[in-house]
Amino acid sequence: MHRARPPALDVTLRRATVGEILLLRRDELRPGLSLDEARFVGDDDPGSRHFGAFLAATGENIGCASFLPAPFQARAAHQLRGMATRADYVRRGVGAALLTFAVDALGPAALLWCHARIGAVPFYRRMGWRVVSDVFDIPTVGPHVSMVCERA
């Protein structure tokens, strides 16, 4: 797994509630839709974990990621969903630091997976994830591939 450098910002990385990250998730991943349309089935499940990057000075949420227990190819796994960085903080290390923090916080989960937007594939590859599917379309969202991160 890639070890990210901390962002060159004063950012707090921590567990979060869905309520703390939902607005960012909607604004960055589902613009123009309602907050309810940015909710995922499983968000409130006891095994789900949500993480956020918050500006230390203001508490503003600038990054989010959720991991929901969901099998992958009949193996126990966690699915990464709703990972986003606020547009004005992209390419400043926030996403890499948040993903590293979240994966470490999950503990020894053997398998992580996601449906990655095509534009995000280079980011996930740098973080140690690999593509395991052909391109497919998610209606209203666009082309994606499945990616995995297997942890020892």
Domain assignment present for 29: yes
Domain count within the chain: 1
Query: pLDDT by residue (tens digit) across 5-60?
Result: 445 579 999 999 999 999 999 999 989 889 998 999 999 999 999 999 999 999 99
Indicate whether 1 belongs to any domain: no
User: Is residue 4 in a domain?
Assistant: no
pLDDT, one tens digit per residue, over 111-137 is 899 999 999 999 999 999 999 999 999
* Domain assignment of residue 2, yes or no: no
Residue 5 belongs to some domain of the structure: no
Domain span at residue 137 reads 11-150
- What does the chain look like in DSSP terms, one character per residue? ---PPPPSS-EEEEEE-HHHHHHHHHHHHSTTS-SGGG--TTTTSTT-EEEEEEETTT--EEEEEEEEE--BTTB--EEEEEEEE-GGGTTTTHHHHHHHHHHHHH-S-SEEEEEEEGGGHHHHHHTT-EE-S--EEETTTEEEEEEEEE--
